[in-house]
Amino acid sequence: MLPYARRMALPGDVVREAVARALAEDAAGDDVTTRWSVPEGQQASAVVRAKEPGVVAGLPVAEEVFRQVDPGLSIRPLVADGARVATGDTLLSLEGSARSVITGERTALNFLQRMCGIATLAAAFVAAVDGLPVRVLDTRKTAPGLRLLDKYAVLAGGAANHRTDLAAMVLLKENHVAAAGGVAAAVKAVREGMALEGRDLLVDVEVETVEEAEEALRAGASWLMLDNMSSVDMRRVVELRAALAGDGTVTLEASGNVRLDTVREIAATGVDAVSVGALTHSVRALDLTLLVLGGRTPRPPDVQ
């Protein structure tokens, strides 16, 4: 099995903390516009709808927003994360305090639109390599503080996760290699460091040339990141792997400015994975809207 995550739960504590920070940032407890314009006690129905086609991700996060704003709201997701929606489809319905719905609107949409945008782009990249034995991976180029949400959205779109943090595996990039004195020296130092700390992690080495790839293979790297290589050179590295590590224990990953119009050509070189920073670092939010469908003011109690 290839060494990257294809499934990941969305941790409840991470969601609660992210939502709490976002609501505090928005001063949701002091929404003066809503408090002064919407009558206290006004009840309403509302829906979140898609204004364009896409893949859904982040419904549990949107639900948590409304729960923290008002535990009395009735929240009903109408689709599941990972589902494809068309323009006009309803993702979520709400019933309860109109003030609470409106106060939570922007924060819920901010999370949901970003996560749906990531899932939608991930699904497009996965579709572009359909039929090829390759996985589309994300990177650590995520929104600070929202990494697990971003990576969960990648999974909802059908792609896979690369390392979640700096401790998950060794990834020797060009600056590590330069500071260590070369590829072989960097791998050797890492192996020694792992032995001293009693740890055993995958060692990924970023290489830019076929020569560096051969050096990394001979040094015992378990994963090579082929950075901005031409398709011709990537095929040469695939052949080198077969010659030097034919048992299939070395993963080859293509990386660097991968686009939708180039990913299939890259995947067809024989690499195992293609990492795409754009999945999370420059995603376009999916266009969603929250609409209040109607409000009703409770009848005042009878005066005795």
Q: Which two tokens mark 272?
A: 């195992």
Q: What is the CATH number of the domain that holds 217?
A: 3.20.20.70
pLDDT digits (tens, 9 = 90+) for 245-285: 877 789 999 999 899 999 999 999 999 999 999 999 999 99
**Among the options 227, 241, 253, 272, which is catalytic?**
227
- Residues 212 and 235 grouped into a single domain: yes
Rounded-to-integer distance, Cα 102 and Cα 223, Å: 49
| Statement: residue 302 has pLDDT above 60 | no
| pLDDT score of 296 | 65
Strand partners, 44: 96, 295
Calculate mean pLDDT across residues 14-31. 97
pLDDT for position 257 = 87
76 belongs to a structural domain: yes
In a domain, 263, yes or no: yes
Q: Identify the active-site residue in 6, 76, 173, 284.
A: 173
pLDDT value of position 304: 47
The answer to whether 187 and 204 have CB atoms below 8 angstroms apart is: no
**256 found inside a domain:** yes
Give a yes or no: residue 152 inside a domain. Answer: no
Q: Is residue 89 part of a domain?
A: yes
113 and 196 inside one domain: no
Query: In whole angstroms, what is the distance from residue 237 CA to residue 269 CA?
Result: 9
Known active-site residue 25: no
Is residue 145 one of the residues assigned to a domain?
no
* CATH of residue 108: 3.90.1170.20
Backbone Cα Rg of the chain: 24
How does DSSP classify residue 17?
H
* pLDDT for position 8: 62
* 23-26 LR contacts (CB < 8 Å, sep 24+): 23/65, 23/68, 23/69, 23/104, 23/107, 26/106, 26/107
- Is the pLDDT assigned to residue 1 strictly greater than 60? no
DSSP codes, 20-33? HHHHHHTTGGG-HH
Answer yes or no: do 33 and 82 share one domain.
yes
pLDDT at residue 128 above 50? Answer: yes
% residues pLDDT > 70 (the chain)? 94
Active-site residue (options: 81, 206, 214, 215): 206
Q: What is the mean pLDDT of residues 115-137?
A: 98
Q: Which backbone phi and psi does 138 adopt, to 5 degrees? A: -90, -170
227 classed as catalytic: yes
Q: Is residue 3 part of a domain?
A: no
User: Could you tell me if 268 and 289 lie in one domain?
Assistant: no
Q: Six-digit token pair at 282?
A: 């420059």
Per annotation, catalytic residue among 16, 84, 141, 264: 141
The verdict on 100 and 180 lying in the same domain is no
Whole-angstrom Cα distance, residue 165 to residue 136? 18
Number of domains within the chain: 2
For the question of residue 206 being annotated catalytic, the response is: yes
180, 73: one domain: no
Q: Do 69 and 164 have their domain in common? A: no
Amino acid at 232: V
98 within some domain: yes
pLDDT tens for each residue of 170-183 = 999 999 999 999 99
**Domain ranges, residue 240:** 160-275
Same domain, 270 and 170: yes
| 225-228: long-range contacts, CB 8 A cutoff, minimum separation 24 | 225/171, 225/173, 225/253, 225/255, 225/275, 226/252, 226/253, 226/254, 226/255, 226/271, 227/174, 227/255, 227/256, 228/255, 228/256, 228/257
Within this chain, do residues 53 and 79 fall inside the same structural domain, yes or no?
yes
- The better pLDDT of the pair 246, 91 is held by 91
